[in-house]
Structure 1
Amino acid sequence: MGVWKIGILYEGEHIRGSPFSCQVFDAGLVQVYGLDVGLVGQELKFNVNATEAGSGNLEV
């Protein structure tokens, strides 16, 4: 894990700002609970524990 660089090319040239740096964490350290059964169109609540995966914002 660590800092990775992502390059985006258009017609063989980097777009503005490319390559981009981002922090990469181990997704295997994230635990999700409560996703046993779900129905389309119905609200489903679940828990996510990402405390061991590193710093950052969690988005679902």
Structure 2
Amino acid sequence: MKFCYRANQAQMAAGAVASDMAALAATLKYATSIVATLTIQLVYLFLQKYFVKGALVEAIKG
């Protein structure tokens, strides 16, 4: 009976580790997407005048 209890504890510990790894993977995925999105937004913020100027030139050329 003690052997089954110990085996069950080992399985539960392995499941907890796998669960923690899955949570870490999800957290890293979300953090990466936020960093990528913020980078694009910051680049657009500084280059916005060029985008607007280019759009106006194209609109006038038609």
User: TM-score normalised by the shorter chain: which range applies?
Assistant: under 0.3
Greater fraction strand: 1
As a proportion of its length, which structure holds more helix?
2
Larger Rg: 2
Normalising by the residue count of structure 1, what TM-score does the alignment of the two structures yield? 0.23
Q: TM-score, normalised by structure 2?
A: 0.22
Higher relative contact order (CA 8 A, sep 6+): 1
